[in-house]
Amino acid sequence: MKKKITYKDEPMEIEVIKDFLPPPSRLVPNDETVKVTISLNRASVEFFKSNASKHKTKYQKMIRRVLDEYANIYAKI
């Protein structure tokens, strides 16, 4: 049997935190994607597969993010 919780009539210190979460419209990427076929080094693919399983995501998504970040950095130059 669980222990019964007894509440006391004590003052509570409350701090209101500003909403920092993005709106749902910013959570869903609406970028246009293009399907491509690419040959990668086996060691690179194994690296992404290993890290993807550790972070519970898909390795293709991780590779896509790396390429997107690279393109964003060098598109500004």
Whether residue 18 is contained in a domain is answered as no
Whether residue 22 is contained in a domain is answered as no
Whether residue 24 is contained in a domain is answered as no
Strands (E) located in the chain: none
In tens, the pLDDT along 4-23 reads 888 888 888 888 878 777 77
Name the pTM for this structure: 0.58
Whether residue 71 is contained in a domain is answered as yes
In tens, the pLDDT along 39-71 reads 999 999 999 999 999 999 999 999 999 998 899
Longest dimension (CA), the chain: 66
pLDDT at 1 over 70: no
Domain that holds residue 54: 42-77
Whether residue 33 is contained in a domain is answered as no
- What phi and psi, each to the nearest 5 degrees, are found at residue 68? -65, -45
Q: Quick one: average pLDDT of 20-47?
A: 84
Total domains in the fold of the chain:
1
Whether residue 37 is contained in a domain is answered as no
The span from the CA of 57 to the CA of 27, in Å, is 16
Whether residue 49 is contained in a domain is answered as yes
